[in-house]
């Protein structure tokens, strides 16, 4: 195909590939491939009713995950996000149970989050009200929460290994869903021989995996299995318990891949959510002022605010949910694959089909939301100003593949934002009328780079 025939963006390329599959397959054969084209025809579930029906009526049937040749470089069928079958069930189980035991909703994990956010507050304070880009500071803070959860410690921003880790995450997250990622997944046998940004992304994946393996070795030497302090401790303890089980998939390779999943998924989504939150609060000073007034009226300027306190802050809670609804991070839900034939709404969905949950259509569904394209916290408030937890709010997915770390993410976002809004008023730099609210379109939807001013509220 000539360059003028092939779209430059990855979404256009996907559309092109789906509609010209036969020609592409013949090209693969012509170029020496085997014709096994990587892109399958997807079934898209769009709108709240279709997504809810598909994920609740067929939770097991739609629990598979399609292969991703790029991530398979790290090893097939490992970890939580991209594994399937028995391996996936065991890895998800240890992920969910470990997070629960580590005290989600209790003071233990909240203390780690509070440490990270206090460092972030001090870093913001050092800008002295001048315009600055908050992205690196926010990324460091969010990444440190995952470090604390996974391996029980946080790192100073100047730590060399921590800097390499955050840089690797930035490189990898920039690559995921970009044009070259799509090309790699389409022609993996060809791309591994060609230069390009995929080489840097592969190196970044290996660096994160190496970091995980180093932390695993440190934990094996410390012998804290009977008093587990973090995810690695809990996982190693489960390995010990399952040592004589021939069907166990609890091993160091899967442990390292689970840690990689925590960093790749848990860092990017929370980081992007916080970046959108700061942007929206800066663009909507009336909403920011109302949140700050509610926090001040209930808690004043001293003492800590825990996640349980969200019930005392209905407007603040509504604003946080509305931010996540309006600026949903993923362009679609992470694709699934049917593991059985399914008949749904008169359509036969064959085994092996891609299932795409269009969660953006749910969160922007005009049948469910009064003003779906506007930043309107009233979507989550009743007529008396009380918070309403709506089932249409599916920012963390639905069904058996819903986000493992959603409770951690909820706690992080609440504590980060309430702590920051107690300390600062976020304002536009002089001469700037509004920050750009259009997203940078990749698999995850980040805002364009921006600067703001963090004006201290009190000493």
| DSSP at 381 | B
Q: How far apart are CA 43 and CA 181, in angstroms?
A: 21
What letter would DSSP give residue 74?
G
Q: Which of 30, 54, 12 is nearest to 182 (CA)?
A: 12
How far apart are alpha carbons 126 and 55 in whole angstroms? 47
Residue 143 labelled as part of a binding site:
no
Residue keyed to tokens 């049937």: 61
The distance in angstroms from the start CA to the end CA of the chain is: 63
Residues near 159 by beta carbon (within 8 Å), at least 6 away in sequence = none
Q: How far apart are CA 257 and CA 277, in angstroms?
A: 30
> In the β-sheet with 336-337, what is the strand arrangement from edge to edge?
42-46, 354-358, 336-337
Contacts (Cβ under 8 Å, ≥6 apart) of 398: 51, 52, 55, 56, 357
CB atoms within 10 A of CB 47: 16
Q: What are the Cα distances from residue 267, in Å, to 147, 215, 232, 308, 430? A: 10, 18, 18, 23, 31
Please name every residue paired with 132 in a beta bridge, in sequence order, or none if there are none: 452
11 token code pair: 């979404």
Instruction: Tell me how far apart the alpha carbons of residues 156 and 144 are, in angstroms, rounded to a whole number.
Output: 9
Give yes or no for a contact between 51 and 210, defined as CB atoms under 8 angstroms apart.
no
The tokens describing 83, both together, are: 């594994």
Instruction: Report which secondary-structure segment, H or E, holds 215.
Output: helix 197-222
Tokens 């206090």, located at residue: 118
Whole-angstrom distance, CA of residue 349 vs CA of residue 411:
37
C-alpha angle 56-60-62 in degrees, rounded to nearest 5: 80
Are the C-beta atoms of 324 and 395 separated by less than 8 Å? yes
Binding residues: 403
Binding residues for heme: 403
């Amino acid at each position: 195909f000539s360059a003028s025939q092939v779209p430059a963006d990855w979404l256009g390329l996907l559309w092109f590939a789906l509609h010209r599959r036969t020609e592409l397959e013949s090209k693969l054969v012509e170029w020496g491939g085997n014709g096994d084209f990587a892109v399958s025809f997807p079934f898209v579930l769009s709108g709240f009713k279709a997504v809810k029906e598909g994920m609740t009526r067929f939770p097991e049937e739609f629990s598979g995950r399609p292969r991703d040749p790029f991530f398979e470089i790290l090893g097939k069928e490992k970890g939580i996000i991209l594994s399937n079958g028995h391996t996936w069930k065991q890895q998800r189980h240890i992920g969910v149970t470990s997070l629960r035991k580590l005290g989600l909703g209790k003071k233990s994990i909240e203390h780690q989050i509070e440490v990270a956010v206090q460092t972030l507050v001090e870093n913001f304070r050092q800008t002295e009200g001048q315009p600055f880009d908050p992205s690196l500071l926010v990324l460091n803070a969010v990444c440190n929460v995952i470090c604390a959860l996974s391996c029980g410690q946080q790192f100073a921003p100047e730590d060399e290994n921590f800097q390499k880790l955050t840089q690797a995450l930035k490189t990898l997250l920039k690559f995921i869903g970009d044009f070259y990622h799509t090309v790699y997944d389409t022609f993996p046998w060809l791309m591994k021989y060609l230069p390009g940004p995929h080489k840097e992304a592969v190196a970044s994946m290996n660096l994160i995996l190496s970091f995980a393996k180093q932390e695993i070795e440190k934990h094996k030497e410390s012998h804290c299995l009977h008093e587990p302090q973090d995810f690695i401790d809990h996982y190693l303890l489960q390995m010990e318990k399952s040592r004589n089980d021939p069907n166990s998939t609890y091993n160091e390779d899967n442990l390292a891949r689970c840690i990689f999943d925590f960093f790749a998924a848990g860092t990017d989504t929370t980081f992007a959510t916080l970046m959108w939150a700061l942007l929206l609060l800066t663009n909507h000073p009336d909403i920011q002022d109302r949140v700050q007034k509610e926090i001040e009226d209930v808690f004043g300027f001293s003492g800590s605010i825990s996640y349980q306190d969200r019930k005392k802050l209905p407007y603040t809670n509504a604003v946080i949910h509305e931010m996540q609804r309006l600026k949903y991070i993923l362009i679609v839900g992470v694709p699934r694959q049917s593991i059985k034939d399914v008949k749904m709404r008169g359509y036969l969905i064959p085994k092996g089909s891609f299932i795409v949950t269009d969660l953006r259509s749910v969160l922007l569904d005009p049948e469910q939301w009064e003003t779906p394209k506007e930043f309107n916290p009233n979507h989550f408030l009743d007529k008396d100003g009380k918070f309403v937890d709506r089932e249409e709010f599916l920012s963390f997915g639905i069904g058996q593949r819903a986000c493992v770390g959603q409770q951690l993410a909820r706690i992080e976002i609440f504590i980060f934002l309430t702590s920051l809004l107690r300390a600062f008023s976020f304002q536009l730099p002089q001469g700037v009328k509004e920050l750009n609210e259009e997203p940078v379109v990749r698999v995850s939807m980040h805002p364009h780079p921006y600067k703001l001013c963090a004006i201290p509220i009190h000493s």
